[in-house]
Structure 1
Amino acid sequence: MKTNNILIFVSFIIVLTFPSIVDAQNNSKKFVVVLDAGHGGKDPGNLGNGYREKDIALKTVLAVGNELEKNPNIKVVYTRKTDVFIDLFIRGKIANKEKADLFVSIHCDSHTSQAYGAGTFVLGTHRNQTNFEVAKKENSVIFMEEDYEKNYAGFDPNSPESVMSILLSQEEYLDQSIQLAGLIQKNFTSKLSRKDRKVKQAGFIVLHQTVMPSVLVELGFLTNNKEGAYLNSKKGQQQMAFAIKDAILSYKSSLETNVSDYALNKNTDESDSNSFDNFTFKVQIAASSKELATKPYNFKGLSTISRLKEGSLYKYFYGSSPDYDAAKTLEKEARNKGYKSSFIVAFKEGKKVALIDALKSTTN
């Protein structure tokens, strides 16, 4: 895999940066992380240098889970804790049933060369043939499953067209998935000095089955003599597991920071108003690589739609108000229209700013 891969987005992608602050304030619900050890049972995964992917993935997953379980506010769910074969669609069902906040699938890569390095994938289109080949290897597991044609509606992992067809059905959580994937890659490279194979997109069927932020981690290449030995060692598995665990905690912390800072400002504000000095709040509902007309027929009947281009994407926002409580009402309206993962963003003098900065700036 080349190291200069960059993300390329599908033609219309609904994306999400952070979930609703209101939802995150529900402290009665633990933060649920589903950990998925790739392969298992009759499916050994790749056997580079005689190592077994299924064993390394499982040991790493259990190490990640063991650390996360030390946090009383986190519930860890495993798709498998032993050497058993689990259908890909069942893995997704487990996560969906638990209403998980995150889904993390762990694997090891292989190649005919001495390629090496760690990479993290999110669901999306392939930039090149190499990304497709990685996804094809992981997706080919479905041929070991009974009734795979029925369970996957004729999906063919060997067909790029078939893989592309699954992408638009799991769109809402792409930005969140990229956020987590970026944190994982940062830890791999900065803390462990692993070669950075970047955050990339590919059509992994196991990610397609989930309805929450989801990533697939390729820990490295078992076919590389040095890296294979490292990943097969207890030290390597523990180090990689800690890097993943720390990324998950950082992701969770970023959500909680927004909540606690808002609550603090609410408690110390002597005014009953939730207006913020020079800030305007809008509700992000969608994003697209295409420039869409900001008309109600493009946005399920919602009017007062505005548009902002960021990088290769056009982001679309519903409503506008200097009052945060009014923005929450707008968010509720958007969700009732079907934009279940819409979220509030802040602007100052026409420029998008961090929500946390706006929430810290209550007027007196």
Structure 2
Amino acid sequence: MKLYRRYILFISICLGLLTSPFGISSAIAKDFVVVIDAGHGGHDPGAVGKISKEKNINLNVALKLGKQIKKNCPDVKVVYTRERDVFIPLDRRAEIANDAKADLFISVHTNALANNRVAKGASTWTLGLAKSDANLEVAKRENSVILYESDYKTRYAGFNPNSAESYIIFEFMQDKYMSQSVHLASLVQRHFRNTCQRVDRGVHQAGFLVLKASAMPSILVELGFISTPEEERYLNSETGTTTLADGIFRAFLAYKREQEIRQNGSSNTILPEDVPDPVKKETIDTTSNETLENEESPKEVVSKAPQRPQQVEKAVTSQTERSGIVFKIQILTSSRPLAQNDKRLKGLKGVDYYKEGGIYKYTYGDSSDYNNVLRTKRNIAAQFKDAFIIAFKDGKKMNVNVAIDEFKRKRNK
């Protein structure tokens, strides 16, 4: 009888685990889903050069990018908005990403200039209000795709891609994925510059309809200028398309790894050996708003505040001097030092920072008591929604979950 009762109890527990949201089924990790969007297609050629059409360049790079991810990331599901030369409406592209519950949306495009103007280099764009006429023109060109749709006035609520007035809607729009999108865009540009040896035209914002309708971190990549003969030849070469796809792939890997470390404290995503790990076994914050709006200085990606390397050195030294475990709140990152009155610090006093992987990481609060830092984080949550706690031990960064466990053990002694 006792054996029978134990058997019934065992079966009940198993059934409970299977049906419970905290049971076995929830332990199965969801695939990381990335949607790759090859811009234009079918009867929409995109920008047209002397020897090629944008739609074909976009598709070539998009398929190579997806192939790289599939080959190297078995835990990632790749979804294409198109895999051949067909026309896909803008809203349908975003719908594909939303239906797939994508973690990332990467739209691949090729730039162009009118009137025989010549330009070189790659840029990456996120959703926002265009802050220059040049940026607005890029958005107008990409959004003009909707004119190929017979019912575009109904589909897009009267939006006119060629009217500057239509873009006012982007001024009042709040994008909760902005920080992640900007960070991914910054990683793409870093690899375009360092891995692909491309001219870095920076990170920009503009009102792209395809990004507006996508409910996840999203970027739009402009690979180069089809209107510049030298660029067009590169964009149509095997070397060019492979190199560009590889640059985006490496940025994707870095972003994915950072997100996993931030969420889980560890990651199985392996970066290529010849690319420095930007996080050094820890996370990079996604709150840095690195944007470029000055076409005359394409490598200026953040604020024009004067560099103060002696302060950065001091910050690094101050952390290495501390013994034991110290908790801090990471509030944002930047590729260059920020002035004390920089608006991104939002008036916060006593901000410290240290340099890691070429990135300046800004922190607030400093205590060996995790609870004190946690309370401080709650106090600044309204100002820094994406802030998170990090830990150092004897001046060296460590896994924050391990640090918390150690703090608890010492407190309970």
Which of 341, 346, 359 pairs up with 2:389?
346
Structure 2 partner of 1:117:
121
SS class of match (1:126): coil
Counterpart residue number, 1:19: none
**Structure 2: which amino acid aligns with 1:91?**
R
The alpha-carbon distance between structure 1 residues 135 and 176, as it changes in their structure 2 partners (threshold 3 A), is same
Output aligned runs, 1:3-18, within 5 Å. none
Q: Does residue 84 in structure 1 map to residue 126 in structure 2?
A: no
> What is the deviation of 1:311?
3.7
Q: Does 1:254 align with 2:258?
A: yes
CA distance in 2, matches of 1:26, 1:314: 39
Change (3 A) 1:183 1:283: closer
Aligned residues: 291
Quote the residue 1:43 is aligned against: 44
Whether 1:279 and 2:322 are equivalent positions in the alignment is no
Q: Is the 8 A contact 2:122 2:198 kept in 1?
A: yes
Distance, in Å, in 1 between the alignment partners of 2:64 and 2:137 is 28
Aligned partner of 1:88: which letter? L
Q: CA deviation at 1:158?
A: 1.6
Change (3 A) 1:283 1:313: closer
Distance in 2, matches of 1:27 and 1:311, equals 42
Identify if the C-alpha distance between structure 1 residues 41 and 73 changes in structure 2 by more than 3 Å, giving closer, same or farther.
same
Q: Specify the alignment match of 1:224 in structure 2.
A: 228
Q: Could you tell me which residue of structure 2 aligns to residue 17 of structure 1?
A: none
Give the Cα–Cα distance (whole angstroms) in 2 for the partners of residues 245 and 84 of structure 1: 24
| Code of the aligned partner of 2:93 | R
1:251–1:27 CA distance, 2 compared to 1 (3 A): farther
Contact 1:281 1:322 (8 Å CA) reproduced = no
Preserved CA contact (<8 Å) 1:277 1:361: yes
Contact 1:262 1:356 in 2 (8 A): no
1:193 to 193, 197, 203: 197
Q: Contact 2:108/2:222 (CA < 8 Å) preserved in 1?
A: yes
Letter of the 2:403 partner, please give it. Answer: S
Q: Using the TM superposition, name which of 250-259 and 217-226 deviates more.
A: 250-259
**CA contact 1:281–1:324 (8 Å) conserved in 2:** no
Shift of 1:225: 1.1
- Cα shift readout 1:212-259 (whole Å, capped 9, x = no counterpart): 110000000011111110001121111100110111011001112234
Task: Give the direction of change, closer, same or farther, for the CA distance of 1:195–1:146 in structure 2 (3 Å limit).
Answer: same
> Match for 2:389: what amino acid?
A
* Aligned-partner residue type, residue 89 of structure 1: D
- Which segments of 5 or more consecutive residues in structure 1 lack a partner in the other structure? 1-24, 264-275, 285-307, 349-353
1:1-80 maps to which residues of 2 (within 5 A)?
A: 28-70=29-71, 71-80=73-82
**Cα drift, residue 193 of structure 1:** 1.3
Task: Say if 1:31 and 1:73, in contact at 8 Å, map to a contact too.
Answer: yes
RMSD of the alignment, in Å? Answer: 3.5
- Percent identity of the aligned residues? 41
2:81 corresponds to which letter in structure 1?
A: T
- 2:287 is equivalent to residue 245 of structure 1: no
Give CA deviations for 1:25-75 in whole Å, capped at 9, x if unaligned. Answer: 976111100000000000001112231100010010000000101211100
Could you tell me how far 1:347 is from its partner in structure 2? Answer: 7.8
Q: Closer, same or farther in 2 for the Cα pair 1:325/1:72, shift >3 Å?
A: farther
CA drift at 1:126: 1.3
Give secondary structure in 2 for the equivalent of 1:48.
Answer: coil
* One-letter amino acid of the counterpart of residue 247, structure 2: A
SS at the partner of 1:76?
strand
Work out which structure has the larger RCO, using CA pairs closer than 8 Å and 6 or more positions apart in sequence.
1
For residues 187 and 231 of structure 1, the distance between their equivalents in structure 2, rounded to whole angstroms, comes to 17
Shift of residue 310 of structure 1?
5.6
Tell me the TM-score normalized by structure 2. Answer: 0.63
Letter in 2 for 1:346: I
Q: Which residue number corresponds to residue 132 of structure 1?
A: 136
Cα contact 2:97–2:214 (8 A) shared by 1: yes
Provide the rounded CA distance (Å) in 1 between the counterparts of 2:126 and 2:144: 18
Partner of 1:89: helix, strand, or coil? helix
3-state SS, counterpart of residue 166 of structure 1: helix
The offset of 1:283, in angstroms, is 10
For residues 113 and 278 of structure 1, what CA distance do their matches in structure 2 show? 55
Which of 207, 211, 236 is residue 207 of structure 1 equivalent to?
211
Larger radius of gyration: 2
Aligned to 1:236: 240
Q: Tell me if structure 1 keeps the 8 A contact 2:106–2:221.
A: yes
Structure 2 CA distance for partners of 1:26 and 1:128, relative to 1, 3 Å: farther
Residues 150-198 of structure 1: CA distance to partner in whole angstroms, max 9, x if unpaired?
1111111122231130354451011101111111111111112111100
Aligned residue identity for 1:361: A
Query: Cα–Cα, structure 1 residues 26 and 177, in superposed 2: closer, same or farther, change >3 Å?
Result: farther
Specify the alignment match of 2:97 in structure 1: 95
Matched, 1:361 2:362: no
